[in-house]
Each structure stands twice: as structure tokens, then as C-alpha cells.
């Protein structure tokens, strides 16, 4: 393992507020420090004022507690680790777009796009439960729109759709990949190599090889060939995911073997500063700086 591939940063961390993650906020920080991380970004599933989804995301009333808790940890552990405050969110339909600006004004440092479900005015449906061809096409179109919006630090698990029906990477699947990868290059938004299926052993048969649903090997071979930038996301739902629960060497090997250009912590920090400058409130003073 060379220093150039060492994963010592993670901007994809959940908290128990979402209803399917475990442990105290402080335990995520402690595990990250123990494992030698220098940067930890909390990005819990976005809490919406217009939709309650218990078990998927926290209630909107929990936003102040989330912000305060992360800012306190940021102060408390300032000498040991850099902590950031974000949300992982879907790309919302037009009637709810003001949400992103509102959250930036409330002091959120960044968003990552985790496009799990399709939003329409008063409901949200998981893409996995929709007819596959149509769902994949809509997913790709909306991920591209989100990339163009300028609200996001990066796209979490862009190849998430490979887990819905575990189909081979061809036809519509490959077409969706091309669109997402091309947009990420054009707008310089990194794509995340995600660690969840590797922890859950979710495999897909890709013909020549059996790989994880995501990171889907042929998706990332294409991304590398086209010249996209990637970053790595633990997508922690338990404190131990940041240490003994994840196979970091697999990911270090994965990005290296695919010849992927990796956006690392220093650059992610710079990108977060730019997002805050573009969208944050001039009246908001971050807890540290
Ligand atoms: Zn989750
Ligand atoms: Zn996540």
C-alpha cells in the first residue's frame, strides 16, 4: 500500500438519526481517529421539511440537534481530526429545490448526491421498485441535472443502479454510465467509489468476473477510460465501518488497478470551501476557523 492510495479521509458518514445507522455521533469520530483518519465529514441522509420517511431519514425537527452535535464534536476534537458537516441527499423535484440553498444558509458545509429515490411533489419512490429501463434512464438524467446544479461536492455511488436488478453492464446500463461520467468530467464533480456492497457482500455476475453491485468494475473501467475523477466513500452506518468493519485495502487496490484519478482530502477541503463561499450565508460563522 503506497501513501498515494491510503484512505485516511471520509466524507460519507451517517448518524443514528436516519433510523438505519447505529451508535453515537462521538463514536464515529473516535473510530475515525483510532483508524488514523485526518478528515471526517458527516453526511447523514437529508431531513426534509416536506416529507417524513422514518427508517430512511431523520425528522426535519432533528436538524438543529444534528448541526449542534457535529459542531460541538468539531470543537472538541479540533486538535485530532478535521470534522465537516454535510448531508447526503437525493436530487429533488423543482418544487423543493430551495431546500439546498436553505440548508447552506443554515450552515451546512456540503452536500453529496445519493440519488436513491425519485421525487415528485408529495411523494418519493425508490428507483429499485420502478420498472428498470425507465428507472435507469430517469436516474441518469437526474444525476446529470444534479451535477449541473453546482450544489454537490460529489456523486455518491453513481453506479448505485447496478444493485437494483443486478443486470449485466450493457445496453441501458452502459448508456446511463456514459451520461453520468461525461457530466462529471464536464462539470468537474468527482464520482464516489462506495464501500457499502463490499460490507454486505452484494455481488453481481459480470460474465468474466463476479464483482460488487457497486463499485461495478466495468462502470469504473469506463470512467477511467473517459478520464473521470473519483473519490472514496465509506458510507458509514456504524462506527466500526470506519475501522475494522471495512476492507480499505480492497478499495485502495480497486482505484489503483482501474487507473482512476483520485480526488483526495486536500482537494475535497478546497472544494467544500468553494461551495460554502458560493452558497453559505455571510452571517453564519462556522464553529471553527
Ligand atoms: Zn443509509
Ligand atoms: Zn450514504
Distance CA 244, CA 46 (A): 27
Neighbours of 120 (CB within 10 A): 12
pTM above 0.85, yes or no: yes
Question: What pLDDT sits at residue 288?
Answer: 47
pLDDT in the model for residue 278: 94
Spacing, Cα 283 to ligand 1 middle (Å): 32
For residue 39, give the DSSP letter: E
Distance of CA 34 to the CA centre of its chain: 22
Q: What's the alpha-carbon Rg for the chain, to the nearest Å?
A: 18
Please, which residues have CB less than 5 A from ligand 2, an ion? 88, 235
Task: Give me the pLDDT at residue 122, please.
Answer: 78
User: What letter does residue 88 receive in the DSSP assignment?
Assistant: E
Residues of the chain under the 70 pLDDT cut = 1-5, 282-289
d(CA 44, ligand 1 centre) in Å: 8
Tell me how far the alpha carbon of residue 30 lies from the centroid of ligand 1, in angstroms.
20
What's the pLDDT tens digit per position in 164-202?
A: 988 889 899 999 999 999 999 999 999 999 998 888 887
The pLDDT value given to residue 123: 87
Report all structural domains of the chain as residue ranges with CATH numbers, in order of start: 7-279 (3.20.20.140)
Tell me how far the alpha carbon of residue 232 lies from the centroid of ligand 2, in angstroms.
Answer: 12
Strands (E), the chain: 9-13, 39-45, 82-89, 110-113, 117-120, 123-126, 152-155, 191-194, 203-205, 210-212, 229-233, 261-262
Amino acid at each position: 500500500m503506497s501513501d498515494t492510495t491510503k484512505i485516511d479521509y471520509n466524507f460519507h458518514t451517517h448518524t443514528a438519526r436516519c433510523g438505519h445507522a447505529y451508535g453515537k455521533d462521538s463514536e464515529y469520530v473516535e473510530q475515525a481517529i483510532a483508524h488514523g483518519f485526518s478528515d471526517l465529514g458527516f453526511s447523514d441522509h437529508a431531513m426534509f421539511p416536506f416529507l417524513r420517511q422514518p427508517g430512511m431519514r431523520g425528522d426535519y425537527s432533528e436538524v438543529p440537534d444534528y448541526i449542534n452535535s457535529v459542531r460541538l464534536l468539531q470543537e472538541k476534537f479540533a486538535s485530532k481530526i478535521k470534522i465537516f458537516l454535510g448531508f447526503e441527499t437525493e436530487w429533488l423535484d423543482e418544487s423543493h429545490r430551495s431546500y439546498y440553498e436553505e440548508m447552506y444558509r443554515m450552515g451546512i458545509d456540503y452536500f453529496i448526491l445519493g440519488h436513491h429515490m425519485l421525487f415528485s411533489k408529495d411523494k418519493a419512490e425508490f428507483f429499485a421498485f420502478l420498472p428498470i429501463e425507465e428507472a435507469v434512464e430517469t436516474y441518469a438524467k437526474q444525476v446529470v441535472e444534479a451535477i449541473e446544479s453546482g450544489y454537490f461536492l460529489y456523486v455518491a455511488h453513481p453506479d448505485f443502479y447496478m444493485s437494483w436488478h443486478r443486470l449485466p453492464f450493457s445496453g441501458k446500463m452502459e448508456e446511463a454510465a456514459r451520461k453520468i461520467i461525461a457530466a462529471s468530467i464536464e462539470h468537474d464533480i468527482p464520482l464516489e467509489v462506495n464501500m457499502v456492497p463490499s460490507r454486505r457482500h452484494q455481488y453481481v455476475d459480470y460474465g468474466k468476473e463476479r464483482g460488487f453491485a457497486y463499485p461495478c468494475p466495468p462502470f469504473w473501467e469506463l470512467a477511467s477510460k473517459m478520464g473521470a475523477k473519483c473519490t472514496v466513500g465509506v458510507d458509514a452506518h456504524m462506527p466500526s465501518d470506519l475501522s475494522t468493519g471495512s476492507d480499505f485495502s480492497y478499495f485502495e487496490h480497486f482505484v489503483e488497478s482501474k487507473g482512476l484519478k483520485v480526488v483526495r482530502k486536500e482537494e475535497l477541503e478546497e472544494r467544500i470551501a468553494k461551495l460554502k463561499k458560493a452558497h453559505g450565508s455571510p452571517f453564519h460563522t462556522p464553529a471553527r476557523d
